[in-house]
Each structure stands twice: as structure tokens, then as C-alpha cells.
Amino acid sequence: MTDTDTHPSTDGSLIDASGIESTTRHVNGVRLHVVTAGDSDDPLVVLLHGHPDFWYGWRAQIPRLVEAGFRVVVPDQRGCNLSEAPDGIDSYRVSELTADVCALIRDEGRESAHLIGHDFGGFVAWNVALRQPSAVDRLGILNVPHPAVYRTTLRSSPEQIARSWYVWFYQLPRLPEWILSWNDASRMVAALEKTSNPGTFDRETIDRYRAAWRHTGIGPRIDWYRGFLRTESPPREVVTQPTLVCWGEDDIALVPSMAKQSIDYCEDGRLRTFPDASHWVHHEREEVTDELIRHLS
């Protein structure tokens, strides 16, 4: 068996399309693997994956956005896949992940960009818009609530406390890493399958996710959640940029009422819900990409 067989590629070559490039960027003191596509002069869109995802989670959106006339930049966020995984929980505070995105936009020679985030990448996207509003033109959010809504709901909703059990579990030292790494990350695979509709993740896709997890291990991804609880609140709560929230109504980790409440924190917000779609709404509904393109255009 060759090394390629045991560690299959997880870079931009996973998408069979012209113009897809894997690059390395040194921003905010960290080395990031970044997949790019589209004309460098076109309007810039940055796509942010969540947990336990990597850049490949946007494989359906990248070609469509390029066809619609956008420059697309998709990082593996720090600690994930081919990007650097710095030591220490403080390296994974949301404020650091936010600074990575702002530095990446500047590295593209831009002052601002459209920003789309899913899951934890959505938390980062919300925070960029709230911490550095001049860096965001339009905001797209997939199945993650506004930070203030999440904090308030966690304090007041026993149902959401129960659904967020994993956030508290991830605060334990070492045990989450051991459990989630066991048996070739079988519990991570089970989490993908449990939180999605049947058939969303086929065997080939799961193998690619396993390969991505092996590069940095599970620990840095768990540190996202540890760092999340150490991050100070952003300086403002109201999002001024035009914002689209797309929400799969069958998300088992988040109570659906948070979707509408999040729009209440946006000066110019719109909610699009998708019945019978899971947390992985952009994998399961092509209309999500259509909505995002209309929003950005």
C-alpha cells in the first residue's frame, strides 16, 4: 500500500474542475491552506466551514459561485485539515479565528468581502461582521444562530442546554480527543450521519473526511469549543450588513426558534427555512446555493 493510499489527498484536487487551486497563506501568525477559484478581479466571497468539516464542505457551492461571477476563497480554518494547528486553547478563541479571516481578506488585496459561514464557521462569520463590520459586504449564515441569541437561549432553554451537551463534554481535558479519535474516528463519522439526512454523506465522502481529520488530529477542533467559552463578547450586537440566514428545520443540535430571533439582530435580515433539511442544509438543498447567489448579487 502506498502513502497516497493511506493518506489520500485532501487539497483542491478533490474538485474536478478547472481553475481550482490550493494555496498556502501566512496570515495572523498562522499558515492556512486555502482553496481558491474564479477571477481575482471579481467580487470576493469567503466561505467558512464548521465542525467537523473542512474546505471540501463547500464543494457544491464553489463552482456555482464562480459561474455567477465571484472570486471564491475557502480556507481550512486553523487546526483543520492542511492548515497549521497552533498549540493552546487560546489559539482557538473566536477572536483569533475572526482575525484570520480579516487577514485573509487583506491578503487577497481587498478591504472587504462577502462572507458565508456554516456551523462554527457561521459563528466566526457573525463575529467578523460584529467585530470588524467594514470587512464584510454581505453576510450569509447557514444553521447557526447569532451569538447573542445562542447565549440567551443557553441560559433560558432546558431543551437547548440538552441539545448542546457536546459543548460541555468538549470542555473536559483529553477525554473528548480520545473518544472521538478511537477506531479511526468512528464516532465522528456517526455524528456526521446522525446530524444529516440519509445519503448526505456517502462512503467516499466519509473517507475523505477521515483523511482530513488525520492531518491535524481531533484535538484542535475540540479546542475551538474550549476557546469559544474563553472569548469575550463582540463590541456590538446588531449586524448592519445585508444578511441572509438559511436554516434546515430538522437540525437536531439547535432549537429552530433561534433562527427567527437571529434576524431580529439584523438591520437588513432575511430568513429562508428549509423543511425536511438537516443541519447540513447546503449539502441537501440546491436552493440554498440559489438563495446565496441572489443575496450576494
CB distance 219 to 177 below 8 Å: yes
CB distance 134 to 112 below 8 Å: yes
- The C-alpha atoms of residue 102 and residue 79 are separated, in whole angstroms, by 17
Cα Rg, the chain, nearest whole Å = 18
| Residues 6+ positions from 160 with CB-CB distance below 8 Å | 153, 154, 254, 255, 258
**Angstrom distances, CA of residue 78 to CA of 139, 161, 262, 273, 287:** 21, 27, 26, 30, 29
CB distance 65 to 293 below 8 Å: yes
- The C-alpha atoms of residue 30 and residue 100 are separated, in whole angstroms, by 8
CB distance 213 to 241 below 8 Å: no
| Residues 6+ positions from 147 with CB-CB distance below 8 Å | 123, 126, 127, 130, 233, 234
Residue at grid coordinates 488525520:
214
- The C-alpha atoms of residue 100 and residue 79 are separated, in whole angstroms, by 12
Residues carrying an active site annotation = 119, 225, 279
Q: Copy the grid coordinates of residue 289.
A: 446555493
* Residue 171 phi, psi dihedral angles, 5° rounding: -80, -15
Beta strand residue intervals within 38-110, DSSP E: 44-48, 71-75
